[in-house]
Structure 1
Amino acid sequence: MPNWYWDVKPSDVPRIIVEPPGPRALSIVKSDESLIMQSFGRWYPLVIKRGFGPVIEDVDGNLYVDFNSGIAVMNVGHSHPRIVKAIRNQAGEFTHYSLTDFYYELAVKHASMLIEVTPISGGKSVFYANSGTEAIEGSLKIARGYFRNQRPYVMAFLGAFHGRTYGSMSLTASKPIQRFGFNPMMPNVIHAPYPYPYRCPFGKRLSEEECGEQALSFIEDWVFGRLVDPSEVAAVFIEPIQGEGGYVVPPVNFMRGLRKITEEHGIMLVVDEVQSGFGRTGKWFAVEHFGIEPDLIAMAKAIAAGLPLGAIVGKANLMKLPKGSHANTFGGNPVALAAGIEVINVIKDEDLLTNASRVGDYIMRRFKEETDSSRLIGDVRGLGLMIGVELVKNKVSKEPAVKELGEVLMRSFKRGVAVIGSGKSTIRIAPPLNIPIELAEKAVDIIIESIRSVERETP
């Protein structure tokens, strides 16, 4: 592994020298609670001091294997020297001049590189935003604007998370709290069931392929047959792997069938790759695993190694909003673009797509081997390093093991693995793409032992 990852020996990670949370961490948590609006929930009191590669250090000197990547953001690892150098160099040139009012070469260079790795054929265009939710908002406007509002409806899926601003929140259907108290939502949004093979909404005993077929039939027979004519639908928004919904991988036949339906009815297919993109699944974008091309791809999180940057890449003939109809002040920030250029280069030069697939296969195999002997592990699923391990109270009823998930995450944290949940009771595994097998093995050992200890102590 490259030397920049370590100023301690890899064999020393994880390292717990003070039981977390330590005294410094507790002091900061207390100040945070008094100074910052608590409209978000933390999984456990991890207070970060620094990170290097796939390792993070807290303010009390503990070292953790990072299985979060800052929520699938740090795909190239923490403090990569090439990213740090690019940021420093650009900060010494200029840090802002509003791309939507003027020009700079960085945007042209990054856009050309982004277009190169985006799986849409033909001419493509890019729009820059600051975040994933802004990329979704922009995609909504592109879809409705293209049809001059002659198609007022959009469709999304139950379990989806597309953001928390009003348009994206209206598409989101992951947890009630994310919408509670904010009604009315944006009108004309339809939600269809997402084919969740482990919990297929159309029947418990359906195979993965049958679940996909039923989900497609629901769209054709019920949404388009009884609710809205497809000629009034501008776009379908979908995560190729649901993120906050539980790291759910849909059946291949569903994704291919959905693309066919949208093409037949002239509906835009908008793929939300905010969490699943930029190598997370072993390909540049998760949609590539299904052998289809969307019309627009919304992306953010990992594209600038932690700096605020979002983007929409779409077919050039669809990216046609009138001048002045959509813009922002900070989208395409030059420092973020400089980081983004180097992110693409690092993923290519270090062959991180291959490592994501290799290490992801290892992690999946380890948890699947544990499934038969584990009382809590109900399902293991994922692609590359986007892996979900769903915990259940009972493998027949599949009742979510919500409390047990919290215990497993806390015990893993206290032993030196930073990992969080997704959905109701799924362990969300998303380490940096450059994590070596050796560290992944240690982290998996700790998580499995945490699961076993919870099983021993839970009736």
Structure 2
Amino acid sequence: MFTPCRGRFQTCPYKTIVFMERIFQKARSLQKQKDFIMTTNHIGPDAILQKKQEYLIPCVYHFYRKPMQIVRGKMQHLYDHTGKQYLDFYGGVSVMNAGHCNPEVVEKICEQVRTLQHTTAIYLTQPIVDLAEKLAQITPRSLKRSFFCASGSEANEGAALLAQLYTGKNKFVAIQQGLHGRTKLTMNLTGLPMWRTDPNPLSDVVHIPGAYCYRCAYGLTYPRCDLTCAWRLEDVVKNGEYAAFIAEPIQGNGGILTPPPGYFKLIREILDRYHVLFIADEVQTGFGRTGEMFAIEHWDVLPDIMTLAKALANGTPIGAFITNDTIASSYTRPGASTTGGNPVSATAALATIDVIEKHQLVERARTLGAYFQEKLLELQQRHTIIGEVRGKGLMLGVELVKEDKIPAAEETDHILERLKDCGILAGKTGVSRNVLTFQPPLVITGTDIDHVAKTLDSILYSGCS
């Protein structure tokens, strides 16, 4: 007679054997993966850095004092050339919403590549129109007509051009700490000093303070401030001919700056009063990242034009802007993008959206994001270096400060490095680069969140200098 097992193995010895065999199989599989990585011809971080210094323009920078060479990805994990596994909580900067090398997306991409890799929009192909139809179904009401390009910068540039064509006006209003791209116009729309490298800025862009409540530009506190930062928009647009106001619903690179309730409602009212268009830059915030398909939906506001990229095709290069019938009708002269709407990119986007809907990743981001935020708020109670926790869904930022809210930039670098050494990848954002940023693939688990929170807690207890 067998003695009953306790705990997990209480049922019978046979199940115990099966369970242990599964563990061994998984171990063997992981070892095979590691052996494959180790035997593949990777040149290593030092050689990459040497080539980078010799052949790339110096503006191309990288994270970490001791960087690693990433060679493989699988869902929420990345692997370096030694086989070390990393839990990716940055998602390629809010790109890999469906997970690295998601097999459902990869299979569709491979199938399309084997069939038709490239034409341009001057020839008729089905993926581009199927994707446009799908975007019309999932974006906020009345947004219907899309233009496809290759990046978020190009999408914002195109959206700005469309606004000028429709309104006949040339000027723009943007927000301080915003990031909208690296082209001539989008770099000038950008309000984040680190990314404004153009030595000859345009004069047709005005920046206003954003809803950075933790460091209010007016020294006020919400809600007693009466949304002074939003009212500043009226002071600007009533005195000029402005085509559009552009804003990220949540400013990603600005430090996960998240406006309070009522902010975008008031912005929309002011824009309507002065006949100025609203461009919502959803390049980082779109496709479930914040717990809604698009972040602007948290404020129940309808933009006139919305820009998309990054997670749209889960890492395959693509960008788009979408608008309503009326505004679209102003863009009639020939316009094209050589790789915009490319069959592979469009197919990848369709497959990505299918995965997001099929596996309810929007709802998953909302639920897991709330859980992660609770964990981070618990850490804030124990560690004075955490000044504020903010964001929505799985787009969260932890602003690290010293006394008197002095940005803890060096400490942020140290924590980022320590997390990496512990097998966790996070980001850093903000004007002072002191906001620890989490934008993981939406396929992470509660266990992953527990691991990150526990590791961060341990690092903070051990000191950050």
Q: TM-score by structure 1 length?
A: 0.89
The change in CA–CA distance for 1:77 and 1:8 in structure 2 (over 3 A counts) is farther
Aligned to 1:428: 437
How far off its partner does 1:449 sit? 1.9
Kept after mapping to 2: 8 A contact 1:138/1:326? no
Number of equivalences? 428
Aligned to 2:230: 216
How far off its partner does 1:451 sit? 2.5
Q: How far apart in 1 are the matches of 2:111 and 2:459?
A: 44
- Which among 121, 127, 130 is matched to residue 106 of structure 1? 127
1:38 and 2:34 equivalent? no
Deviations, residues 179-198 of structure 1 (Å, cap 9, x unaligned): 23x23223311111101111
How far off its partner does 1:267 sit? 1.1
How far off its partner does 1:211 sit? 4.2
The change in CA–CA distance for 1:96 and 1:321 in structure 2 (over 3 A counts) is farther
Aligned to 2:18: none
Q: How far apart in 1 are the matches of 2:230 and 2:93?
A: 31
Kept after mapping to 1: 8 A contact 2:173/2:246? yes
Q: How far apart in 2 are the matches of 1:146 and 1:29?
A: 47
Q: How far apart in 2 are the matches of 1:164 and 1:451?
A: 35
Aligned to 2:15: none
The change in CA–CA distance for 1:90 and 1:154 in structure 2 (over 3 A counts) is same
Aligned to 1:130: 150
Q: How far apart in 2 are the matches of 1:142 and 1:333?
A: 21
- Which among 447, 454, 457 is matched to residue 445 of structure 1? 454
Q: How far apart in 2 are the matches of 1:341 and 1:61?
A: 32
- Which among 217, 231, 241 is matched to residue 201 of structure 1? 217
- Which among 274, 277, 280 is matched to residue 271 of structure 1? 280
Q: How far apart in 1 are the matches of 2:285 and 2:143?
A: 23
1:53 and 2:60 equivalent? no
Q: How far apart in 1 are the matches of 2:212 and 2:225?
A: 8
1:118 and 2:118 equivalent? no
Kept after mapping to 2: 8 A contact 1:407/1:454? no
1:400 and 2:407 equivalent? yes
Q: How far apart in 1 are the matches of 2:351 and 2:90?
A: 21
How far off its partner does 1:358 sit? 1.5
Q: How far apart in 1 are the matches of 2:436 and 2:89?
A: 10
Q: How far apart in 2 are the matches of 1:155 and 1:214?
A: 16
Kept after mapping to 2: 8 A contact 1:212/1:251? no
1:297-312 aligned within 5 A? 297-312=306-321
How far off its partner does 1:446 sit? 1.5
Aligned to 1:77: 99
Aligned to 2:6: none
Amino acid aligned to 1:269: F
Q: How far apart in 2 are the matches of 1:33 and 1:8?
A: 40
What stretches of structure 2 of length at least 5 have no aligned partner? Answer: 1-24
Q: How far apart in 2 are the matches of 1:217 and 1:369?
A: 34
Q: RMSD of the TM alignment (CA)?
A: 2.1
Aligned to 1:283: 292
List, as ranges, runs of 4+ consecutive aligned residues in structure 1 with deviation greater than 4 Å.
none
Q: How far apart in 1 are the matches of 2:143 and 2:208?
A: 31
Aligned to 1:163: 181
Q: How far apart in 1 are the matches of 2:186 and 2:237?
A: 22
How far off its partner does 1:103 sit? 1.6
How far off its partner does 1:27 sit? 3.1
Amino acid aligned to 1:122: S
Q: How far apart in 1 are the matches of 2:329 and 2:460?
A: 51
Q: Name the SS for the 1:126 alignment partner.
A: strand
Aligned to 1:296: 305
How far off its partner does 1:212 sit? 5.8
How far off its partner does 1:383 sit? 0.4
1:154 and 2:153 equivalent? no
Q: How far apart in 1 are the matches of 2:255 and 2:162?
A: 28
How far off its partner does 1:23 sit? 8.7
Aligned to 1:375: 384
Q: How far apart in 1 are the matches of 2:213 and 2:441?
A: 27
Kept after mapping to 1: 8 A contact 2:233/2:270? no
Larger C-alpha radius of gyration, 1 or 2?
Answer: 2
Amino acid aligned to 1:320: S
How far off its partner does 1:89 sit? 0.5
Kept after mapping to 1: 8 A contact 2:143/2:305? no
Amino acid aligned to 1:96: H
Q: Name the SS for the 1:372 alignment partner.
A: helix
Amino acid aligned to 1:28: I
Amino acid aligned to 2:236: V
The change in CA–CA distance for 1:357 and 1:294 in structure 2 (over 3 A counts) is same
Deviations, residues 433-455 of structure 1 (Å, cap 9, x unaligned): 01011112112222222223234
Deviations, residues 313-333 of structure 1 (Å, cap 9, x unaligned): 111210134444532211111
The change in CA–CA distance for 1:117 and 1:452 in structure 2 (over 3 A counts) is same
Aligned to 1:178: 195
How far off its partner does 1:123 sit? 5.9
Q: How far apart in 2 are the matches of 1:77 and 1:170?
A: 32
Deviations, residues 345-398 of structure 1 (Å, cap 9, x unaligned): 10011111111112111111111011122121000001000000000012xx21
Q: Name the SS for the 2:341 alignment partner.
A: coil
Amino acid aligned to 1:406: D
Deviates more, 1:48-57 or 1:437-446: 437-446
Aligned to 1:88: 110
Kept after mapping to 1: 8 A contact 2:91/2:441? yes
Q: How far apart in 2 are the matches of 1:210 and 1:42?
A: 41
Q: How far apart in 2 are the matches of 1:102 and 1:410?
A: 49
Aligned to 2:46: 26
Kept after mapping to 2: 8 A contact 1:72/1:280? yes
Amino acid aligned to 1:206: T
Q: How far apart in 1 are the matches of 2:421 and 2:53?
A: 21
